[in-house]
Every structure is written in structure tokens, then in C-alpha cells.
Structure 1
Amino acid sequence: MRSRSYRSMNVILTIALAIGGIAMIAPLLWTFSTSLKTREAVFALPPQWIPDPVVWENYVRVWSAGPLASGILNSVIVSVSVTVVGTITSAIAAFAFAKMRLPFKNVVFLSLLVAIMIPFPTIMIPQFKMFGDAGLVDTLWPLILPGLFGNIVMIFFLKQYLDSVPDSIIEAAKLDGAGYLRIFFTLIFPAIRPAIAAQFILWFMAVWNDYLAPIIYLNSPEKQTLQLVIASFNATYASQTDYPLIMAASFIALIPVLVVFIVFQRQIIESVALTGAKG
């Protein structure tokens, strides 16, 4: 009886998860489908999930319809530099807060946590004036510099993760003559790699999809990130009902995020599994 009830519950959960998965992936499939349609087919009734005819030319036109290539390059420069350098500095900061004996480190750590509660619009104008006085407006530097020093959420997450690492491992390494940087890169970094991967992809997605900061600092079309380019596509071509072109640009913008997720999905699953086991 219990076995039958267990199987029935598994069937119900599988169906529920399948419905949820379909609901989540349907917008992505519709974006790709629309990007391969003609303008007339977009408004066809009933809606066409499989385009007829398939118009691959939309993916050719999109490169000449706007500064898409420069938008992708700018987004890659910002996202990769911020997340790679910022992840390393965040991990080192988390290691310092978790395992090093520093004066007032708890006060500093609590101050960082308080900073999370400050919304970006509160510091938006002072930050803009600061970068304006430095002559960095309409460059990528205002989007890059703040992230190079780390991410407060990542620091907090990695510190909590590092609290479960035994101090005896670090003390033994110190007795063998290893410095803190060597201990971090040879012992700590490999141990927290799954947690770093999970936070890395979330941060990469946030930076890649950021729209508010680029629209504040970037004016020249050749300096705009991909999200601003897509917004420009929408403003220009929506009035012409050229939705296939807009969807083609939007789908291209999704590809890097999908690639990063596929590359790091194993580490993300390991992070969730290890967190659950330690909890």
C-alpha cells in the first residue's frame, strides 16, 4: 500500500514538474520561433509555433539593423571583467572574514551587510557625479570599477560556506610554512569551487542583463551594452511591426547566459547538494 502511494506521489510530482518546466521554457521557444517568422506570420491565428516558412534571414538582417556587434562586445567586456575579477576578490574577502584574525572584522562585515539594504537609486546621483567629475561618463568604467572590488552577497554566501571548513586544515598549512594566499589558492579555492560557480552564474546574469546602470552612464551608440541596443531595436522596429528582428536580437542576447549555465551546471548542482548535506 505504501509502495503504491509512493509511486502515485512520484507520478504527481513528475507531472507537476513537467508542467512547470514547459511553462518556463515556453517563452524561450516562442522567442526563437518568432525570430524565424515573417512579419505577417507573427499575427497569424492560430499562432504558429513552427514557422512556415522559416526565415533565417532575420539573423542576417539583425547585424546591420543596429550596433548589435558592438553591444555584444561591450557586454562581454563588462560582464567578464566584473565577474571574473570580482569573484576572486569576493572569495579572498570571504576567506579573510571567515578564517583570518583581523581587528574589527565583525564590525566591517556587518557594515557590508548593512550596505545591502541601501537601494541603488539612493546612491545613483552621487555615484554619477563622482564618475562625471572623473570624466568617466559615456565609458564602460562606471559599470566595471564598482564590481572589481567584490560582491557583498557573494562575500556573505562564501563566508557562510567557509565557516564549515575546519580551521585545523589552515593551521596545519601554516605550520608547513604556507602563506595565506597559497593556502587560499591551493586549499580553500578548490574546496569552495561549487559555491563560487553558483554565485558566479547568478552575478554574471545580473551584470549581463543590467539595464539601469548602462542607461545612466552610456550615451554613444558604440558604447552601449547589449541590453540598451535591444531596447533601441524595440523602440525603432516595434512601430514597423518587425517583431522577428527584435526577437532575433533578443535570442542572441540569451545565448551567452545559456552557455554559462551549461558550463557551470555541474558545479551548481554540487553546491546545492553540499549545502543540503551540511545543513
Structure 2
Amino acid sequence: MNRIYSFKKIISFVLIFISSMIMLLPFLTAVFNSLKTYAQYTMVPPKWIPEPFKWSNYSEVFQLGDFGQYTMNSLIVTVLSVIGALLSSSMVAFAFARLNFPFKNSLFLVVLGTMMIPPVVTIIPQFIIFKNLGVLDTLVPLWIFEWLAQPFGIFLMRQAFMNIPNDYEEAAKLEGCSPFQIYWRIFLPMCKPALATLAIFTFMAKWNEILAPSIYLTSKENYTLPIGILSLGGQWFGNEQYLVAAALISLIPILIVFLFAEKYFVHGDSSSGIK
């Protein structure tokens, strides 16, 4: 029996290792390509490992273009979007989960129904609205909608709030807490896993967004990182290894956010409630 168990365990580890290498191979290829000279980058047959490693490619990315400005623009949009999503979505979700008002369930179904509307359908009306407001070619259209509570965030936070036992709310009411105090001081700290999930999803969506910036932005100094990197393609013609290095640099903030929120991301709501 022990031999069979050990054999199954070895097979499992081998399969996991092979799967991990398959997933990791494209990333390693990109890393090696970012450390090559242009001659090595275009070599046929390709040379996988560069000799020597050209680490200066990463510093030259910042010197040859407005990469720093694009990064700052993306950071502003992403941070404002995450803050807006966490606040607005959690407030609306708390109302749907814990407050009583007419047509609550019907309104929630309407909110969920908006998730089925393709984003491209609303681009023209939104463009007209932003044009009349005079905020085209600014960063405002890229983050303002997150402050208006998006359906996915409302759904995610509502489920988290509904999983919290009623005893917490009743105890808070006996202590004289208002609905906002219950939301802010009791429920919100107990939903850190859901908040971390929403923050990660919002950060990734806004950091990698291409469609909205390409529509609303026309000035080069307002470009966000994705379209900024694409715009540098012509400038870096003959040095495409810089584009690979720039793309890898753009991954660093996402990895940092995920590692920071991982401890909340993997824990359940129940463990937070017990604390």
C-alpha cells in the first residue's frame, strides 16, 4: 500500500513539474530575449540563452522613451481605480446585503444584468458624455467609472457580506452603532479576502487596459503604460528587445500587488470573522 502511495506521489510531482515548466517556458523565453542584443534577438536559428547577458537593456528602456511618464500615468489611474472600486462597490454591496428597502432584489437583478452588456456597446455614449464634460485627453475617463460601483465588485462584496453571521450585526446595534459604523468598523475588516480579490482584479484590469486609453487619450504625455509601450514600437525599430524588456518591467507592479494581497486572498471569510 505504501509503495502504491509513493508511486502515485512521484507521478503527481512529475506531472506538476512538467506542467510548471510548460507554463514557465514562455516567460523564461521573454526574459532571455530581453537580455539579448538585436543581433542575438534576430539570430536564425534562435539562440535561447544570450551571451553575455545585456542587463543595460532595462536601463536603456527608461532613457530612450517616456517610459517613466507612462508608468506614472498608469499608476495614477490604477490606484484611483482600486480605491474607488473598494469604496463604492463595498458600500452598494452592504446596502444590498444588509439593508432593507423597496425593490432591493429587483434592483440587484438589474445590476447583475448590466454585466451582460458588452463594453464596446457603451463606448460611443461614454465618449459623448466625456466630450461634453470636457475631460477627453485626460486620465479622468479611465478611473471615474470605478467610483460609481461596478457590477462585478458589487456582486463579489455582497456575497462576502451575506456570509457574515447576523450575530455581529445584532451585537453592533446593541452597542449603538449606526449602519455606516457597522459597515465601516465591523463588516469591512471582516471581508479582507474579498477586498483583496477585488483589488487584485481591478489593478490587473486597469494596469493592462488598452481599449479605453486608445480612445480617450490623444496626447503622448497622457499615455498609459500599455499604449505607451505600443507607441514606442516605431521608435525602437531595430531594437525590439527593448519592447520585451519594457513589457517585463510592466509586470512588476502586478506581482508586487499580488504578493502583498496573497495572505488575504487565500484566507476565507470565516477565519477573518473569528478574529
Q: Can you list the C-alpha shifts for 1:65-104, whole angstroms capped at 9, x where unaligned?
A: 2211111000000001011221122112211111111222
1:223-242 mapped onto 2 (5 Å cutoff): 223-237=222-236, 240-242=237-239
1:263 aligns with 2:235: no
Say which SS state the counterpart of residue 60 (structure 2) adopts.
Answer: helix
1:253 alignment counterpart: 250
CA positional deviation for 1:241? 3.2
Q: Does 1:85 align with 2:53?
A: no
Distance in 2 of aligned mates of 1:251 and 1:267: 26
Post-superposition Cα deviations, 1:109-136, rounded to whole Å, max 9, x if no partner, equal 1111000000011111111011011111
Residue matched to 1:215: 214
Contact 2:85 2:153 in 1 (8 A): no
Q: What CA distance in whole angstroms lies between the structure 2 residues aligned with 1:256 and 1:119?
A: 28
Match of 1:277 in 2: none
Q: SS where residue 212 of structure 2 aligns?
A: helix
Structure 1 residue 196: Cα displacement: 1.3
Residues 85, 147 of structure 2: 8 Å contact kept? yes
The residue aligned with 2:187 is 188
Q: Where do residues 124-163 of structure 1 align in structure 2 (5 Å cutoff)?
A: 124-163=123-162
Task: Provide the residue aligned with 2:73 in structure 1.
Answer: 74
Q: How far apart, in 1, do the equivalents of 2:73 and 2:233 lie?
A: 19
Letter in 2 for 1:245: Y
Deviations 1:168-206 (A, max 9, x none): 210221121011222122211121101211221112101
2:163 match: secondary structure: coil
Q: Which residue of structure 2 lines up, in the alignment, with residue 13 of structure 1?
A: 12
Of the structure 1 ranges 108-117 and 64-73, higher mean CA displacement relative to structure 2 is found in 64-73
Gaps of 5+ in 2: none
Name the counterpart of 1:164. 163
C-alpha change, 1:6 and 1:95, in structure 2 (3 Å) is farther
Give per-residue Cα distances to partners, 1:215-273, cap 9 Å, x unaligned.
Answer: 00001000000001111123443xx3312111111111111001111111111111499
Distance 1:11 1:241 in 2: 47
Question: CA 1:62–1:149 in 2, change beyond 3 Å: closer, same or farther?
Answer: same
Q: What displacement does 1:23 show?
A: 2.2
Looking at structure 2, the residues matched to 138 and 148 of structure 1 have their Cα atoms a distance apart, in angstroms, of 19
TM-score, with length taken from structure 1: 0.91
Q: Tell me, in whole angstroms, the C-alpha distance in 1 between the residues paired with 2:267 and 2:47.
A: 39
User: Alpha carbon RMSD of aligned pairs, Å?
Assistant: 1.9
Return closer, same or farther for 1:92/1:5 CA change in 2, 3 Å cut-off. farther
Alpha-carbon deviations, 1:30-67, whole Å to 9, x = none?
22221111001113355444321121221222113221
Unpaired segments of 5 or more residues in structure 1? 275-279
**SS state at 1:98 partner:** helix
Pair 1:202–1:271, CA change in 2 (3 A) = farther
- Distance in 2, Cα, partners of 1:243 & 1:272: 46
Q: SS state of the match for residue 270, structure 1?
A: coil
Equivalent residue, structure 2, for 1:109 = 108
Q: How does 1:44-63 map to 2 (within 5 A)?
A: 44=43, 47-63=46-62
Structure 2 distance, partners of 1:273, 1:166, is 9
The answer on 1:177 being equivalent to 2:176 is yes
Residues 26-65 of structure 1: matches in 2 within 5 Å? Answer: 26-44=25-43, 47-65=46-64
Alpha carbons of 1:249 and 1:185: their partners in 2 closer, same or farther (altered >3 Å)? Answer: same
Q: Give the TM-score, by structure 2 length.
A: 0.92
